[in-house]
A and B are shown apart, each in its own frame.
Chain A
Amino acid sequence: MPSVVATATNVVKRFDAESGKSEDAITALAGVDFDVRAGEITGLVGPDGAGKTTLIRMLAGLMRPNAGEILVDGIDVTTNPEAVYRRIGYMPQRFGLYEDLSVQENLDLYADLRDLKKEDRRDTFARLLDFTDLDRFKGRLAGNLSGGMKQKLGLACALINTPRLLLLDEPGVGVDPVSRRELWKMVKDLTSEGIGIVWSTAYLDEAEACDHVHLLNHGQKLFGGKPRDLTGSVRNRVFRLENFSGNKREVLASALIREGVRDGTIQGNAIRLLFAENAEPNIEGLNGAENATLTAVEPRFEDAFIDILGGGPDGRSALASDYRKIEETDSPQIVADRMTRRFGDFTAAHDMNFSVKRGEIFGLLGPNGAGKSTTFKMLCGLLSPTEGNGSVAGYDLRHSRADARGALGYMAQKFSLYGELSVRQNLEFFAGIYGLSGKIAQHRIEAMINTFELRPFLNSDAGGIPLGFKQRLALCCAVMHQPPVLFLDEPTSGVDPTTRREFWQHINGLVEKGVTVLVTTHFMEEAEYCDRIALIYRAETIAFGTPDDLKMEAAQMAGAGAADNFTMEDAFIAMIENADLVRENSDQAKAAA
Chain B
Amino acid sequence: MAARFSSLRLRALFIKEVLQVLRDPSTILIAVFLPIMLVFLFGYGVSLDTSAVKLGLVQQSGGPASLSLTSAYVNSPYFEVTQSNDKDALFDDLTAGRIRGIVTISSDFDRLYASTGKPGQVQIITDGSNPNTANFVSAYAQGVHAQWLLSESAQDDSARSGGIQILPQFWYNTALTSRNFLVPGSFAVILTMIGSLLTALVVAREWERGTMEALIATPVTIPEFIITKMTPYFILGLIAATICTLMAAYLFDVPFRGSIFALYALYAAFLLPALGQGLLISAALKNQFVASQVALLTAFLPAFLLSGFIFEISSMPTWIQAITYAVPARYLIPPLQSLFLTGNVWELLLPNIAILLGFGALFFILIFRVTKKKLD
Contact = CB atoms under 8 A, between A and B. Distances in A.
Interface of A: 15, 57, 60-64, 80-83, 85-86, 88, 90-101, 105, 108-115, 141, 157
Contacts of B6: 115
A85 B218 contact: yes
B219 A98 contact: no
20 contacts: A57-B213, A57-B375, A62-B216, A63-B376, A64-B376, A81-B373, A81-B374, A85-B218, A90-B214, A93-B210, A96-B213, A97-B214, A99-B209, A101-B19, A101-B20, A105-B19, A109-B12, A112-B9, A112-B13, A113-B220
Q: Which of B1, B9, B209 has the most CB of A within 10 A?
A: B209
B217 A98 contact: no
Interface of B: 1-3, 6, 8-9, 11-13, 15-16, 19-20, 23-24, 209-211, 213-220, 373-376
Contact of B219 (A57, A63, A113): A113
Contacts of B214: 90-92, 95-97, 157
B23 A63 contact: no
A532 B13 CA distance: 52
B16 A105 contact: yes
Contacts of A99: 209
Contacts of B373: 81
B213 A113 contact: no
Given A112-B11, A112-B12, A113-B12, A98 B211 contact: yes
A267 to B, nearest CB: 37
Contact of B8 (A81, A92, A115): A115
A95 to B, nearest CB: 7
Contacts of A110: 218
B208 to A, nearest CB: 10
Contacts of B3: 82, 85
Given A112-B9, A113-B12, A115-B6, A15 B376 contact: yes
Given A82-B1, A85-B217, 17 more contacts: A61-B216, A63-B375, A64-B374, A83-B2, A85-B218, A86-B219, A90-B214, A94-B209, A95-B214, A96-B215, A97-B214, A100-B20, A108-B15, A112-B8, A112-B12, A113-B215, A115-B8
A406 to B, nearest CB: 34
A111 B6 CA distance: 13
A86 B210 CA distance: 20
Nearest to B4: A82
A372 B216 CA distance: 38
Contacts of B218: 85, 110, 113-114
Given A85-B217, A157-B214, A98 B20 contact: yes
Contacts of B13: 109, 112-113
A57 B212 CA distance: 13
Q: Which of A93, A113, A157 has the most CB of B within 10 A?
A: A113
Contacts of B220: 113
A111 B9 CA distance: 9
A157 B3 CA distance: 21
Given A82-B3, A112-B11, A92 B374 contact: no
- Ranked nearest first, the 5 interchain pairs of A and B with the lowest CB-CB distance are A96-B214, A112-B12, A94-B210, A90-B217, A113-B218
Nearest to A99: B209
Contacts of B24: 100
B110 to A, nearest CB: 73
Given A85-B219, A112-B11, A100 B19 contact: yes
Nearest to A63: B376
Given A80-B2, A101-B19, A115 B219 contact: yes
A178 B254 CA distance: 66
A408 B332 CA distance: 62
B374 A63 contact: yes
Contacts of A64: 374, 376
A547 to B, nearest CB: 36
A126 B24 CA distance: 29
Contacts of B11: 112
Nearest to B8: A112
A484 B13 CA distance: 56
A94 to B, nearest CB: 4
Contacts of B1: 82
A157 B214 CA distance: 10
Nearest to B219: A85
Given A60-B217, A63-B376, A90-B217, A113 B9 contact: yes
A95 B209 CA distance: 9
B4 to A, nearest CB: 9
B12 to A, nearest CB: 3
Contacts of B8: 112, 115
A62 B217 CA distance: 7
A425 to B, nearest CB: 22
Q: Which of B15, B217, B376 has the most CB of A within 10 A?
A: B217
A62 B375 contact: yes
A88 B217 CA distance: 8
Given A60-B217, A62-B216, A96 B20 contact: no
Contacts of B9: 112-113, 115
A306 B217 CA distance: 34
A121 to B, nearest CB: 12
Q: Which of B2, B11, B374 has the most CB of A within 10 A?
A: B374
A471 B315 CA distance: 59
A141 B23 CA distance: 10
Given A112-B8, A113-B12, A61 B217 contact: yes
